[in-house]
């Protein structure tokens, strides 16, 4: 049932529920949520007792399934972890990052800005800098350098001068 749910096969999930005794685990709803199968999530919520974990909202956020994230927020109590915002920031989903910031209490860590910097998502960097206090870690600069994102490195150096570290600043010039 876990696999059928994760792959969006609602009819199979219903059949397994009716005719089999194995049941499912929290991986069923987690997988359905991660893959955007809202109808499966709703059915599991109404007919099964296993529930889900914070991975359901974390992974739905990562994959841009706003409808699933909002439904889980309204109907389930597991919530999400700080990974939800990090995941959304890393995949460049500004609207998701904004929604999570305004509607969830888990917040984020510096890893959200690190992920946005790694992906070159300036609009998310700007939002996180204006709305959050966590800032970034040295990993933001390391990842930007690894991916040869000179623009991100320059922005980080301007706004977070301690992020790259002294030996990294010299290398920024050589990437251009």
Give the pLDDT of residue 161: 79
How many angstroms separate the CA atoms of 53 and 37, rounded? 16
Low-confidence ranges of the chain (pLDDT < 70): 163-176
Residues of each domain in the chain carrying CATH 1.25.40.20:
1-78
Range list of β-strands (E), the chain: none
How many angstroms separate the CA atoms of 57 and 64, rounded? 10
Architecture of domain 1-78: Alpha Horseshoe (1.25)
Give the pLDDT of residue 160: 84
Contact 156, 141 (CB under 8 A): yes
Give the pLDDT of residue 167: 46
Give the pLDDT of residue 52: 99
Give per-residue pLDDT as tens, 47-59. Answer: 999 999 999 999 9
Give the pLDDT of residue 163: 58
Domain 81-176 has CATH 1.25.40: yes
């Amino acid at each position: 049932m876990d696999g059928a749910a994760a792959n969006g096969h609602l009819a199979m999930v219903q059949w397994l529920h009716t005719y089999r005794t194995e049941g499912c685990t929290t991986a069923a709803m987690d997988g359905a949520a991660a893959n955007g199968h809202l109808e499966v999530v709703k059915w599991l919520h109404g007919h099964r007792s296993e529930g889900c974990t914070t991975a359901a909202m974390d992974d739905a956020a990562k994959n841009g399934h706003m409808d699933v994230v909002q439904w889980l927020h309204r109907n389930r109590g597991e919530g999400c972890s700080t990974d939800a915002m990090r995941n959304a920031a890393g995949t460049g989903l500004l609207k998701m990052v904004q929604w999570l910031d305004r509607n969830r209490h888990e917040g984020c860590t510096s890893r959200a800005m690190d992920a946005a910097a790694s992906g070159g998502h300036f609009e998310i960097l700007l939002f996180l800098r204006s709305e959050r206090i966590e800032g970034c870690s040295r990993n933001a600069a390391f990842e930007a350098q690894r991916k040869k994102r000179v623009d991100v490195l320059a922005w980080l150096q301007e706004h977070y001068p301690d992020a790259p570290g002294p030996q990294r600043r010299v290398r920024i010039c050589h990437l251009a």
